[in-house]
Amino acid sequence: MVAGQGASPLFGTLKAVATFFDYLRFERGCSENTVKAYEGDLARWCAFCEGAGLSPLPPSEEKVAPFLRKASLEGKSSATVQRYAATLRSWSHFLQMDGWIEQDVWLPPLPDKARRLPQILNEGEVERLLSACPDTLLGLRDRALLELSYGCGLRAGEACSLHVGDADFRRGTLRVLGKGDKERLLPLVGQIKERLRLYVGEARPGLGGTSDVLFLSRNGRPLRREDFWRIIRRRGKEAAIPAVRLHPHVLRHSFATHLLRRGMDLRTLQELLGHASIATTERYTHFDLELRDVYDRCHPRA
């Protein structure tokens, strides 16, 4: 088991923790990024318990409350504190389900999470962002990457993990491997298809490299998520879009919001986004309504 940097020695001795990570990987189908997030949270929990002279098993109200309070006092955001609570809830449930504890398990309540409007781009800003990519090798790559991410609603990790063979130009489809290694097939049409074809045919060969990963760096290595982030920021700056409005999921959020405003039903959007639950997709409906409320309240001619 891999413990986070500075993790408590106790963290590595708890067999229940290692078994929990196997459960996340193989039964719940969680991605490695999700498992690493659980690892970090539980390492912090074990370190807290060790420092306080407490046993981390089982998480009880008397232990969890000061743990979350300490995180808040350290300046952790409400979203982070809520994630800590959610991690301990999942772990507590697993401990009882797998027989590590016999008594009825206490599940930590989730703290209230501040609701925020998503940072999205309007359609004009998306067009400016795309147009900021010049007709150079890297410009053609960036244009194809941004067209595909916006046009198909991809997560940054999904876009960077695509392989050349995932794009079927004849059938007009794109095969995407999402969270939990769940595969979905997306339409590859119109400007998105043509920009990707142009990149694959003209720009990608000039970037070199032996990898069959679709998007390559200037040195021919597979593009990473941090590279994706830098590309959005650079092209956004050239398009005169404030940096505060740009983040790794901005194109995915914009994709979902724009399709809803144009009348797409939630079930279809759920399939396109690869959400396991439609409740996750429904948040875009709530976001859109909030945006409209703000518009109605603030616009002088609304």
Contact 148, 252 (CB under 8 A): no
d(CA 204, CA 214): 8
In the beta sheet, which residues pair with residue 185? 175
Instruction: Report CA torsion sign: 200, 157, 248, 299.
Output: positive
Residue 4 backbone phi and psi in degrees, to 5: -70, 165
pTM of the model: 0.65
Residue 213 backbone phi and psi in degrees, to 5: -65, 140
Catalytic residues: 155, 179, 249, 252, 275, 284
In this structure, what token pair is assigned to residue 69?
A: 């309070």
Helix 250-261 with 266-273: angle, nearest 10 deg: 160
The DSSP secondary-structure symbol of 194 reads H
Contact 121, 72 (CB under 8 A): no
d(CA 216, CA 214): 7
Q: What is the pLDDT along the chain (302 residues), one digit of tens a residue?
A: 333 444 554 554 467 778 888 888 887 778 888 888 889 999 899 889 888 888 887 778 888 889 988 998 998 888 888 889 888 888 888 877 777 776 666 666 665 555 555 578 989 999 999 999 999 999 999 999 999 999 999 999 999 999 999 999 999 999 999 877 889 999 999 999 999 999 999 999 999 878 999 999 999 999 998 899 999 999 999 999 988 888 878 999 999 989 988 889 989 999 999 888 888 788 777 666 556 655 556 656 54
